[in-house]
Amino acid sequence: MLLHTVVETSRSVASTRSRKAKITELRALLERAAPHEVEPVVAWLSGEMTQGRIGVGYRTLAGLDVAPAPRPSLTVDDLSSALDRLAGVSGAGSTAARRSLLGDLFAAATGDEQRFLVALLGGELRQGALEGVMTDAVAAAAGLPVEPVRRAVMLSGRLAQAAAAAFTGGVDALAAFRLELGRPVRPMLASPADSLDAALTEFDGAVSVEYKLDGARIQVHRRDEDVWVFTRTLRDITSSVPELVELVRNLPCRSVVLDGETLALTDAGRPRPFQETMSRFGARSERDLLLHPYFFDCLHLDGDDLLDAPLSTRLDRLDGVAGPHRIPTVFAPDLDGAEAHLGAALGSGHEGVMVKSLASTYTAGRRGRAWQKVKPEHTLDLVVLGAEWGYGRRTGYLSNLRLGARDPDGGPPIMVGKTFKGLTDAVLRWQTEEFPRHESHRDAQTVYLRPEIVVEIELDGVQVSPRYPGGVALRFARVLRYRPDKSAAEADTIDAVRALLPAGDGLPWKG
């Protein structure tokens, strides 16, 4: 298959907002692909490369100035082998070697193909938002139900490999994607509860009510003496958190997978700010803050996969293996008991509580009703689209943020407001240093960013606004914190923003 065909599909998928139209386009492309082309094609359209990172920086790409080929001739196989060669380059002289390989590749590419390659290699095509659409397209093209494909993707975190398995081995090959020790599973997520009372009533009281800690999500795996620690975005941070590794290595079991939250505490035992916990996840992290784990789920124990077991069973197993490290929990409380637990959580400086159905299974990667969060204040996780240069005291700093909500159909984020409130001097300095690394272009007032950075915004509400493309604007938005643990694909959607409009606004999309 010609690369040109893939590039054309990428363009038409990006240009339509209709989920159905995207699926139709992707399906048609996959049906034309040879079986061995499925994996790279799915990877590229999701902005990934099967080789992983290949060490080509933005500067190298920007510095390439090669005349485009007049006609498309590159094939999918040509690009696959070029990426293999690029990934294989190492050692002295590797920059020059990469530049020469890229020069050859770009000389064989048309203008459209060159732009696609720049976006792919520069990470700009990476759009997790397309994952759901692609999963549906893979199932349709392979003639399979969507559920086994989705499950394989969630268990492995590897869309392209699951797609290849769907095409070559069907449902049986997909079933082979099981929870594997050392390979992280997409975490299960929660929905906002209408109220504590409503959440208890929905499950007839058969719930676990747990503190919702304002730390960072961790998933730990252990097989004998080997331990891994992953973040919410499935990043391996094992080497940054030796104290967690040690603790997991000492649990009374041979193999285990636990889900939980981790936090650094003050001397008084109160949670430290989220940023301080997250700072421990970096490569050059300060080691003076000790992280404490608070586990709330057990997905595997000594050979038993527990994803499909009810939460009540998983919590029993969790108790047996990591009882002293469990998150504070009460079982099947009445409303008074649940309110007291919420009060205790807030009183200790935590965010709120989670109410979880004891009958529910672990639905990896899903945000459902089985886990409901109850917390007092309203926040949205939005994508930073750009920042304007400050004035007055903030001259020379990137200050006023342009904020976007995710398009659930996989298009670019939709701008919903701006804010410069809540930015401390340290955060202003950080923005000014960090943002240019994510720059797509700039004008006199503003540095525009690729949609990569997620920020948590506190707000009083939203209002109808003809000025913004989504028809809604934030009211009194202020920055609460950055969310390095979230990708743009996990930001809140424009629908979530619109849902905050006061009832009775009579907007066309609300009906």
Ligand X SMILES: Nc1ncnc2c1ncn2[C@@H]1O[C@H](COP(=O)(O)OP(=O)(O)OP(=O)(O)O)[C@@H](O)[C@H]1O
Contact 255, 321 (CB under 8 A): no
Catalytic-residue membership of 212 = yes
Three-state SS annotation for 149-171: HHHHHHHHCCHHHHHHHHHHHHH
d(CA 368, CA 458): 23
Minimum separation from the CB atom of position 262 to ligand X (A): 9
Instruction: Calculate the alpha carbon distances from 504 to 26, 417, 463, 476, 511 in Å.
Output: 38, 22, 12, 21, 11
Residue 323 burial class via C-beta count within 10 angstroms: exposed 0-12, middle 13-18, buried 19 and up: exposed
Q: Which of 212, 356, 375, 486 is catalytic?
A: 212
Minimum separation from the CB atom of position 481 to ligand X (A): 10
Minimum separation from the CB atom of position 381 to ligand X (A): 6
Decide whether 83 or 354 has the Cβ nearer to ligand X. Answer: 354
297 in the Ramachandran plot: left (φ > 0), alpha (ψ -120 to 50) or beta?
beta
Residue 466 identity: P
Number of residues that make up the chain: 511
Minimum separation from the CB atom of position 29 to ligand X (A): 32
Instruction: Calculate the alpha carbon distances from 473 to 380, 416, 462, 495, 508 in Å.
Output: 13, 5, 6, 12, 16
Decide whether 213 or 227 has the Cβ nearer to ligand X. Answer: 213
**How many other C-beta atoms lie within 10 A of the C-beta of residue 8?**
16
Decide whether 31 or 236 has the Cβ nearer to ligand X. Answer: 236
CA angle 484, 487, 490 (to 5 degrees): 120
Minimum separation from the CB atom of position 318 to ligand X (A): 12
d(CA 394, CA 447): 15
DSSP string across 384-433:
EEEEEEB-GGGBTSEEEEEEEEBPTTS---EEEEEE-TT--HHHHHHHHH
Decide whether 60 or 279 has the Cβ nearer to ligand X. Answer: 279
Residue 200 burial class via C-beta count within 10 angstroms: exposed 0-12, middle 13-18, buried 19 and up: buried
Minimum separation from the CB atom of position 458 to ligand X (A): 11
Residue ranges in contact with ligand X by CB under 6 A: 187, 189-190, 210, 212-213, 217, 232, 261, 296, 327, 354, 367, 373, 381
Catalytic residues: 212
